[in-house]
Amino acid sequence: MNREAQRRKRARGRNLLALGSIAVFACLPNLSHAGERVTLSNGFVEPCDHHALVDGRIRLYLTAGEDSYIEFKPTEIATFEQVPDSPASVPAASAPKLQTPAKLTAGDLREMLARAGADHNLDVDLLASVVKAESDGNARAVSRAGARGLMQLMPGTAAGLGVKDSFQPDQNVRGGSTYFDALLTRYHDNLALALAAYNAGPEAVDKYHGIPPYRETQAYVARVIHEFNRRVLAREAEARRNYTTAQDAAAQPTLPH
């Protein structure tokens, strides 16, 4: 690993655990509901419940109410597409052509995330926390908005990342890690903002100059950070136990033969 890569990894590590206080949002309910899929002119895909033209701008309402929305110029919208109101995830039986098991073994998933983490200087436990929040490790997961696979890539995003099949775990993880790495770079390794952008889109983060005031996004950021902190603390505790065990073993007197 070169010096610049080491610097980036250290900088990311400093920003991560310090954000654990955001976990106060974790008790908020997940309000995800999307009845439309909106493709923006820049290629990004934004799920929403419904939209309306207000004062010459298009509002994408993120919930059934009208409190949470994102506004765009009409020229920034490419297409609207209706999404059937269906359960948050499509059961495995709905995807008969998939050859991949819905649940990978913990070892397989860990190895896959470790490879992606090494490629992008991302902590494997951070990637594991994102996967848990996005799909709970279900490689066949499909959201109501159409996001797919372990890291829940929208088709447009996946295509832009070179992912041909989002249901193939290795492709999905490579694409999702590449995208998340790009978001961390865009937001100067601010984990909370990168997570918010992964959930709500960079446009929403840029518009509000921070985590958008969407309960779903706030809960998502808190949930991932809480899980990541839990994993890191558990990893450190295990390292301390292993060190103590090794020290105790070394301190044992050697019995003469």
How far is it, in rounded angstroms, from Cα 232 to Cα 129? 10
Radius of gyration of the chain (CA): 21
Q: Which amino acid is at 223?
A: R
- Buried b / exposed e across 210-226, counting CB within 10 Å, b at 16+? ebbebbbbbbbbbbbbb
CA angle 69, 160, 128 (to 5 degrees): 75
How far is it, in rounded angstroms, from Cα 112 to Cα 48? 31
How far is it, in rounded angstroms, from Cα 104 to Cα 204? 33
Q: Is there a catalytic annotation at residue 134?
A: yes
Which is catalytic among the residues 46, 134, 203, 227? 134
22 DSSP assignment: G
Q: Which amino acid is at 139?
A: A
The set of residues, in sequence order, having a beta carbon less than 8 Å from that of 75 and lying 6+ positions away, is: 41
Are 174 and 153 within 8 A, CB to CB? no
Positions marked catalytic: 134
